[in-house]
């Protein structure tokens, strides 16, 4: 059974209209439908952010939230909206954007709808590195207190990136056979992810009960208590990696034609694939280090964006915005809709897991037809 997503380039090319966008010497053809979907999704995201900021133990009308964000409101409203609620909401937006863009890059790179950081094991590798820091900093190796807090704050993003990068490197080496085949990449990624998850479980078994409990809460993908300390690294990563991703758009479009065609058109295949993978790994790792593994965001969001835009590959900007929509929506559900507190990662998993099952059943029907 092949799970590869067919290029659909010819079909998409006959119906996608676009407008040129120029920035200095660089230029892009922006599909009108993708641009419209991105703008509508952005409007939905802004509305969800306003609703999320208005709800809590002390409810504030949405109109007052908007006024406060624009510089109005009284001192109490500014304290609640700006100081207490806005940091957590911004973490949700940025984490969703990082994961949505990472998923769009990996699925385009592998030409496979299952090739997202969470399915390929990259998220599990980043989680392994971060859990190792939590366990060590919590007292399993180096003591606790102020030193532990500083080690977690400084070392957790680095450990998450190293864990995600190391996993991606192993995955790339094991999958390479004169090129990257999407089906082989996914199958090897599932195995590598299982190995990373097993190592994480071993760390939790060896850790003190307090460290294991802290790590387990983080592993469920929690937005609770997140603030500007977690938002700033993601903001910096997006400021650097979004322009880099947009520079890769032409290469990503060419890769949809297949490895041989891309080589024939002068694309440095290995260099382009490695750069795309590194960009996706960095985005996924920085999001995991901030909020833990938010399962299925990087998997489901690019495919939803692809079906809304009708293109030949997951759109990058629309995937970013829809990622923010999903994570902010999950945060809103956990805080307002559900009668009990649950991590946001459980909500995203409840949304993404049925989609994964549907995609597998759909692929099976195509093969059987």
Give the three-state DSSP class for 207: coil
Bigger pLDDT: 328 vs 172: 328
Sign of the torsion angle spanned by Cα atoms 211, 189, 157, 85: negative
Q: How confident is residue 314, by pLDDT bands cut at 50, 70 and 90? A: confident
Q: How confident is residue 45, by pLDDT bands cut at 50, 70 and 90? A: very high
* pLDDT, position 152: 57
Give a yes or no: residue 248 inside a domain.
Answer: yes
Q: How confident is residue 4, by pLDDT bands cut at 50, 70 and 90? A: very low
Q: List pLDDT tens digits, range 138-167.
A: 654 444 444 445 555 656 778 888 888 888
Q: How confident is residue 16, by pLDDT bands cut at 50, 70 and 90? A: very low
* pLDDT, position 121: 87
Bigger pLDDT: 178 vs 86: 86
* pLDDT, position 238: 92
The answer to whether residue 132 scores a pLDDT higher than 90 is no
The strand pairing partners of 29, in sequence order, are 20
Query: Chain-wide mean pLDDT for the chain?
Result: 78
Q: Domain holding 34: CATH number? A: 1.10.3470.10
Range with lowest mean pLDDT among 11-20, 49-58, 89-98, 272-281? 11-20
Mean pLDDT of 229-246: 89
Question: DSSP state, 180?
Answer: B
Range with lowest mean pLDDT among 171-175, 281-285, 340-344, 347-351? 340-344
* pLDDT, position 79: 87
Give a yes or no: residue 315 inside a domain.
Answer: yes
Give a yes or no: residue 22 inside a domain.
Answer: no
Question: DSSP state, 30?
Answer: E
Q: List pLDDT tens digits, range 74-115.
A: 788 888 888 888 898 999 999 999 999 999 998 888 778 888
- Return the number of other C-beta atoms located less than 10 Å from residue 175's C-beta: 21
Residue 114, CA distances (Å) to 189, 301, 369 in order? 10, 12, 21
Share of the chain above pLDDT 70, in %: 78
Give a yes or no: residue 2 inside a domain.
Answer: no
Nearest to 220 by CA among 346, 90, 349, 56: 346
Give a yes or no: residue 52 inside a domain.
Answer: no
Give a yes or no: residue 49 inside a domain.
Answer: no
The answer to whether residue 6 scores a pLDDT higher than 90 is no
Q: How many residues does the chain have?
A: 369
* pLDDT, position 30: 64
CA angle 34, 3, 182 (to 5 degrees): 80
* pLDDT, position 327: 92
33 HSE (CA, 13 A, CB side): 15
Q: How confident is residue 245, by pLDDT bands cut at 50, 70 and 90? A: confident
Sign of the torsion angle spanned by Cα atoms 314, 316, 317, 323: positive
Do 21 and 250 meet the contact criterion of CB atoms below 8 Å apart?
Answer: no
Give a yes or no: residue 133 inside a domain.
Answer: yes
Q: How confident is residue 187, by pLDDT bands cut at 50, 70 and 90? A: confident
Sign of the torsion angle spanned by Cα atoms 297, 299, 301, 304: negative
What is the token pair recorded at 352?
């993404």
The answer to whether residue 320 scores a pLDDT higher than 60 is yes
Q: How confident is residue 19, by pLDDT bands cut at 50, 70 and 90? A: low
Mean pLDDT of 109-122: 83
Q: How confident is residue 49, by pLDDT bands cut at 50, 70 and 90? A: very high
Do 259 and 179 meet the contact criterion of CB atoms below 8 Å apart?
Answer: yes
Q: What are phi and psi of 180, to 5 degrees?
A: -110, 120
Give a yes or no: residue 354 inside a domain.
Answer: yes
For helices 32-54 and 86-110, angle between their N-to-C axes, nearest 10 degrees: 150
Question: Helices in 207-268 by DSSP H: which ranges?
Answer: 209-219, 228-247, 249-255, 259-264
Do 299 and 116 meet the contact criterion of CB atoms below 8 Å apart?
Answer: yes
Whole domain around residue 255: which residue ranges? Answer: 9-16+29-44+60-368
Do 30 and 18 meet the contact criterion of CB atoms below 8 Å apart?
Answer: yes
- How many structural domains compose the chain? 1
Q: Model-level pTM?
A: 0.82
Bigger pLDDT: 46 vs 159: 46
Q: List pLDDT tens digits, range 246-281.
A: 887 777 777 666 666 666 666 666 677 778 888 888
* pLDDT, position 46: 93
Nearest to 300 by CA among 77, 47, 119, 173: 119
């Amino acid at each position: 059974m092949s799970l590869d997503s067919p290029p659909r380039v010819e079909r998409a090319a006959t119906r996608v209209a676009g407008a040129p966008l120029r920035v200095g010497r660089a230029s892009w053809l922006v599909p009108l439908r993708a641009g419209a979907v991105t703008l509508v999704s952005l409007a939905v995201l802004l509305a969800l952010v306003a609703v999320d900021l208005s709800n809590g133990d002390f409810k504030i009308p949405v109109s007052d939230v908007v006024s406060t964000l624009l510089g109005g409101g009284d001192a109490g409203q500014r304290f609640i909206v700006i100081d207490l609620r806005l940091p957590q909401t911004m973490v949700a937006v940025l984490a969703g954007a990082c994961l949505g863009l990472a998923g769009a890059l990996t699925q385009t790179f592998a030409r496979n709808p299952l090739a997202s950081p969470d399915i390929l094991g990259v998220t599990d590798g980043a989680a392994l590195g971060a859990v190792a820091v939590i366990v060590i900093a919590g007292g399993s190796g180096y003591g606790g207190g102020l030193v532990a807090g500083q080690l977690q704050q400084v070392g957790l993003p680095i450990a998450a990136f190293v864990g995600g990068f190391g996993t991606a490197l192993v995955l790339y080496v094991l999958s390479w056979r004169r090129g990257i085949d999407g089906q082989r990449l996914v199958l090897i990624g599932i195995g590598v992810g299982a190995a990373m998850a097993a190592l994480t479980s071993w760390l939790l078994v060896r850790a003190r009960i307090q460290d294991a409990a802290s790590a387990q809460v983080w592993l469920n993908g929690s937005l609770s208590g997140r603030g500007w300390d977690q938002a700033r690294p993601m903001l910096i990563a997006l400021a650097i990696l979004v322009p880099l991703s947009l520079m890769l758009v032409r290469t990503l479009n060419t890769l949809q034609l297949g490895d041989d065609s891309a080589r024939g058109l002068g694309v440095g295949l290995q260099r382009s694939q490695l750069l795309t993978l590194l960009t996706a790994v960095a985005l996924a790792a920085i999001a995991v280090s901030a909020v833990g593994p938010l399962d299925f965001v990087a998997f489901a969001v690019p495919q939803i964006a692809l079906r809304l835009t009708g293109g030949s590959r997951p759109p990058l900007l629309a995937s970013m915005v829809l990622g923010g929509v999903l994570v902010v929506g999950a945060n809103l559900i956990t805080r307002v809709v559900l009668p009990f507190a649950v991590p946001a990662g459980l909500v995203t998993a409840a949304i993404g897991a049925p989609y994964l099952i549907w995609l597998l059943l759909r692929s099976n029907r195509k093969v059987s037809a």
